[in-house]
Each structure stands twice: as C-alpha cells, then as structure tokens.
Amino acid sequence: DAKTTQPNSMESNEEEPVHLPCNHSTISGTDYIHWYRQLPSQGPEYVIHGLTSNVNNRMASLAIAEDRKSSTLILHRATLRDAAVYYCILKSSGSARQLTFGSGTQLTVLP
Amino acid sequence: SQTIHQWPATLVQPVGSPLSLECTVEGTSNPNLYWYRQAAGRGLQLLFYSVGIGQISSEVPQNLSASRPQDRQFILSSKKLLLSDSGFYLCAWSGLAGYEQYFGPGTRLTVT
C-alpha cells in the first residue's frame, strides 16, 4: 500500500470547521482513501472513505484532489469530542488485509 | 446491528506467563477478523488476520499466536509473555471487501 503524509498535529476552535490534509503522491489507481480516528484509550473508528469523487456522511466530508495525490478530511463544526488522532490510510480495493496505520494527525479542539 | 466484544479490558501478567485474549463478533457472518497491537505512543501494528475458520495469516513473527475456532471468535495467545508484549491489543472485523474495519474496545496488557 502506498504511503501517506499528514501533519503531526493541528488545533481548531470549537464549532469551527477543520480541514485535515493528507498527501499520497504515490497512490495507485486501485487505492481507496480511508480515514479513521482514534480517541484516547479507544480503538480506531471508521470515519469515511472514497476513491475519486468527494464523499459526505454524517461524520465528515472527504475532498479528493483531481489528481488524487492529496485529500482533505473536513469536519464541518468541530466539537470537543472530535479531539483525536486522525489517520489517513490507502487501501487497495483488492486487498482484504490490514490497514497500515501511520502516525496520524493529533487534533486538539480548543473550547 | 453488529457488535464486537473483547475481554478482559485490562490485564497485568508476569513475564513468562501465558496469555489468552478473546474477541467475538455478533450480528454478522463470515467476517474478516484482525488482531492489532499498539505500543505506548505508537501506531497500530497488525499481528494476525483471518478470512475464515482455521485460516490465520501472521504479519509479524513473534511469540504470539492466533486461532479462529468459530466463525465469529478470534483468540490471541502466548505461551510465555515477554516485557515487549505490553501494549493495547485491538480486535477488528470487516466484511469480505474490507473497506471498513470496526474495532473492539481493546485490552490493555501490562507485562511486569
């Protein structure tokens, strides 16, 4: 699976939008972009995934660059409960195997 | 709806003692099952995954083993624990395509 690059940490104010970037310049045509988050002392939680088009769900939006070499996870209104480590992961559509977790972005939400 | 259970939640074991962690999934059939470990301040590392009963693939050679005696049961074992086995152990399941993985609450293991 191709590698992703994320900032180590980001801060946001409560009730403001948050844009979490992810670079994946070596992405292949069959790689899906997944986002998970991990709250303290909990297992990771699936957030969203996409292939080429932007995706929206109840938790977040995923904006994918036209060349697919980068993507952005958008939390529309950050809450204190959104403070977590956010992981951007590439996974081939043909693989039923592991998710390769990098170091992720630690999001701090300020009240 | 699907639910994944892990137990125990916390465990303190001496070096050299055996280990058995259990994971069960409810509300789905034929799941892919995974064991991950997260050392303190580190990312998640896949240890084992299984696509069916009795089918186990190991990602990292070490003194741990896994078994899948039933479709929705996944067990992580060790005959003799090492200090380096300390960490947060997470079980996860996914459908056949594996697009979304769902994680259990985890077991925090401390080897003393």
Written as one string, the DSSP assignment of A65-80 is -TTSSEEEEEESS--G
pLDDT at position A95: 58
CB B81 within 8 A of CB B18: yes
Option in B49, B90, B106 nearest A97 (CB)? B49
For chain B, the helix, strand and coil percentages under 3-state DSSP, each to the nearest 5: 5, 60, 40
Nearest-CA distance from A70 to chain B in Å?
Answer: 19
Q: Spell out the alpha helix ranges (H) of chain B.
A: none
Nearest-angstrom CA–CA distance, B66 and B47? 9
B41 touches chain A (CB under 8 A): no
pLDDT at residue A3 greater than cutoff 90: no
Q: Is the peptide bond before A7 cis (omega within 30 degrees of 0)?
A: no
First CA to last CA across chain A, in angstroms?
37
Matching residue, tokens 């099952």: B33
Nearest-CA distance from A82 to chain B in Å?
Answer: 18
Phi and psi torsions of B83, nearest 5°: -55, -35
Bigger pLDDT: A73 or B1?
A: A73
Tell me whether strands B10-13 and B107-111 are parallel, antiparallel or unpaired: parallel
Nearest-CA distance from A102 to chain B in Å?
Answer: 6
Bigger pLDDT: A46 or A93?
A: A46
Question: Residue B101: its chain A contacts at CB < 8 A?
Answer: 36, 44, 46, 99
Nearest-CA distance from B109 to chain A in Å?
Answer: 12
Cβ separation of B43 and A45 shorter than 8 Å?
A: no
C-alpha dist (Å) from residue A37 to A89, B22, B28, B87, B97: 11, 24, 23, 19, 20
Cβ separation of A43 and B46 shorter than 8 Å?
A: no
Option in B44, B46, B57 nearest A44 (CB)? B44
Nearest-angstrom CA–CA distance, B84 and B54? 27
C-alpha dist (Å) from residue A52 to B31, B107, B112: 27, 36, 48
pLDDT at position A40: 87
pLDDT tens per residue across span B34-93: 999 998 877 888 899 999 999 998 887 688 999 999 999 999 999 999 999 999 999 999
Cβ separation of A43 and B104 shorter than 8 Å?
A: yes
Mutate to test the interface with A, among B4, B5, B34, B44 (most CBs of A within 10 A): B44
pLDDT at position A96: 55
pLDDT tens per residue across span A56-106: 999 999 999 999 999 999 999 999 999 999 999 998 766 556 678 888 999
pLDDT at residue A42 greater than cutoff 70: yes
pLDDT at position A99: 78
Average pLDDT, chain A: 91
Nearest-angstrom CA–CA distance, A107 and A82? 8
Q: At A41, which helix (H) or strand (E)? A: none
Option in A45, A93, A101 nearest B43 (CB)? A101
Question: Residue A93: its chain B contacts at CB < 8 A?
Answer: 97
